[in-house]
Structure 1
């Protein structure tokens, strides 16, 4: 009777729980977690390095002799190119990930990102090769975005499919810790670079962070090559083989069209806009704004990003735990609401130019927009979609949301600043994007603990 009960219990367990029940499965879980953490770290080292460089030095290196605001606008325009490439990468690699497996794609994307990020550090300046310099920057930025379009979603899917349902929010939030680690590493290296003479920073110092990023890329690639496919994907492949082997195959159940059900797709799109736009304003645009427009010391902004990144190691898992305890929807809603309240006071008090106030505003903004809400979004996104199109749908929704919001946020904010010469339109823009995420939660389902082998989307 005990053997029968044991068999029943195993049947009730999720695919992740069944694998974690063995020592080998627990070791695979550790390797998968490490590889996802390093991969996401690499992605955000890339974007944090570029965001900081665009705000601090790229105007002088690639767009010299222009008006400071126009130069800042040009720097963030090249920043947006990476976002334009991300949906293309999401479609291309997302479909491969749903057919060939999560591991296959994640090894490829980390290599693409690592090579392109490192090569940026070797681009000659505008003074050396003229217009070819920004042209090469745009090309490598596009390659970065093409690989990154499937990296974040792929790592999130892998970790979510490895995690037991009861703790999926907490474990999936490790993806957010990876992004935070990337921001922390980038800001720490930039703090060291900024200790150099300003002329040295512009001439060669800015290259150091990009070149050193190769270390993370190599480590992540090597680990990923030895990670086992996720238990959810393996179980799905077994079920598909069993269906194919039988004479009565339910074709409507085995094949779900990519566009057959798209409510979850648009929910993910709205949630992503509510997070990504405010996030990139909080940690990207604001750096250039306080340094170039408000003329606050570069070290104030960089130190604030560094402090926020340290706090992220507490904020992110706490947000994931909250979503396990109270549900994904309500926690996400509260983060978006707090961002809406934050927008106007934040930009108003930046005008004081006081180092402590400016630094505190950046820290609070990042903790809400770039850290806390991101810790909830990881598990939420994985649970919204059915197993057979999870990777492709989630990647495309997140990257389209990213290009609509985060990819253009700094560009739009710079244009608003140029036109109105004041902060209030930027604050309204910030609050509006957070508001999209807030209102989307009223149409989103609660997904906490959902069976990830379910074929249908959650809504």
Structure 2
């Protein structure tokens, strides 16, 4: 097994570029563009998650019971996740062939347009069934672009980062996601001050339309970002290889066994993603609708809690990335998954108290573990697991498939479990099972800290 823990005696492609003033400027622009782009993605999804839990049931599915309306809202929420693997396949292959920059400019523009148009959809009372249909179409387009956005930004930042600090630098992707959640929750908190009726009538549109400002800024910056040093080096090596006379190679027949063996890193990433993404979207998505619509907690409580957790994320995320630079990716990831397993049942049991302080503390703790800390480690881990030739496509597909199997369907499954059992305990078990998948996966995963990102082979 190639653990990748041995540092190279020579500088990495990223470190070579950072030696020049121009290279340092490139690094700053790339970091800023990745931060803004990931902010935009998570503004999109946090806005949608909050809206699905708070108002979409009333706007797009009126006349239904509270449970059915919540279930319907999160069903449209899941559509975006179904589109993400399609976007990952399409844009991931393009990113491996044509470069990271091209794809990231396209995806941010697509996401920005889709999110802005969601804020322009007439309600069900205005155009009937066409309202939820338009919502589903735009949600699909949003997910199609997002399918390659997060992985692409992670790959770009990881390939720009110096080897010894890759965990810390790559965790900036997590700070971008946290910024997006913070912006979305802050804007929603302001919107909610206008009153319930005003929010349902028109104010819910404000966050979606205003998100266009971030999309425009991110698109403009990305157009002036240089391609990553790792990809440029790979392109140079490819050009040199084309001038070299080909050698005769024996090709092994592709069987199911050989395909599985050559894609171990893909399945490791899939398992790691399930352990993070499922608990994350339950902690910051489903739980909001659950405590408001089912438990009857004031809607400002979960919104403020998400805001507080997002503020703490600016400390938690880089700290987790730094820890992975010191102790390794695998052990820190394992600890976070274990903490989530321990958290699940007490958390949902305590939510039943309906006490604002307890409910808020549960949401903040869950987000710090699932949506922030573990995500800060995952960024560098995912980049280092794959070889340079297929890094973007494999990582994007693994993360998005993992998203469908966990985060994308988690609110829908949790809503269905509650509708069937009428209790919190199946949801808590479901939460713990997904965290357990991530925990078990770490025992099959290699340690990748310090790996050469120009290596053509996966880390396992």
Normalised by the size of structure 2, how large is the TM-score?
0.96
Segments of 4+ moved more than 4 angstroms:
248-253, 256-260
> CA RMSD, aligned part only?
1.5
1:31 alignment partner in structure 2: 29
Assess if the C-alpha contact under 8 Å between 1:382 and 1:394 holds in 2: yes
Aligned partners of 1:387 and 1:245: how far apart in 2?
A: 20
Check if 1:52 corresponds to 2:50: yes
2-structure distance, mates of 1:216, 1:249: 50
1:104 — aligned with what? 102
Match of 2:318 in 1: 317
Equivalent residue, structure 1, for 2:129 = 131
**Where does 1:55-94 land on structure 2 (aligned, <5 Å)?**
55-94=53-92
Alignment of 1:337-348 (within 5 A): 337-348=338-349
Is there any run of 5+ residues in structure 1 with no aligned partner, and where? 1-9
Q: Secondary structure at the match of 1:405?
A: helix
Using the alignment, how far apart are the partners of 1:39 and 1:93 within structure 2? Answer: 15
Does 2:151 correspond to 1:153?
A: yes
Q: Shift of the alpha carbon at 1:11?
A: 8.2
Residue by residue, what CA displacement relative to the aligned partner does 1:76-102 show, whole Å, maximum 9, x if unpaired? 000000000000000000000000000
Aligned to 2:300: 299
What's 2:381 paired with? 380
Q: Secondary structure at the match of 1:333?
A: helix
Gapped runs of 5+ residues in structure 2? 1-7
State how far apart, in whole Å, the 2-side matches of 1:373 and 1:187 are. Answer: 21
8 A contact 1:51–1:284 mirrored in 2: yes
CA shift, 1:38, in A, is 0.3
Q: Residue 174 of structure 1 aligns with which residue? A: 172
The 1-side partners of 2:289 and 2:16 are apart by 49
* TM-score when normalising by structure 1: 0.96
Mapped contact 1:258–1:389 kept (Cα < 8 A): no
Could you report, residue by residue, the CA deviation over 1:111-156 in whole angstroms, capped at 9, with x for unpaired residues? 0000000000000000000000000000000000000000000000
Alpha-carbon shift at residue 258 of structure 1 (Å): 8.8
Question: Does the 8 Å contact 1:117/1:211 carry over to 2?
Answer: yes
What is the rounded CA distance, in whole Å, between the counterparts of 1:338 and 1:248 in structure 2? 52
Deviations along 1:364-408, one digit per CA (max 9) or x if unpaired, are: 000000000000000000000000000000000000000000010
User: What SS does structure 1 have at the residue aligned with 2:456?
Assistant: coil
Whole-Å separation in 1 of the counterparts to 2:96 and 2:138: 27
Give the C-alpha shift of residue 252 in structure 1.
Answer: 8.0
Give the aligned partner of residue 5 of structure 1.
none
Conserved in 2, the CA contact under 8 Å of 1:417 and 1:423?
yes
For the Cα contact (< 8 Å) 1:258–1:393, is it kept in 2?
no
Give the equivalent residue in structure 2 for 1:221.
219
Aligned with 2:167: secondary structure? helix
Shift of 1:12: 1.1
2:399 equivalent to 1:398: yes
**Matched residue pairs, number?**
448
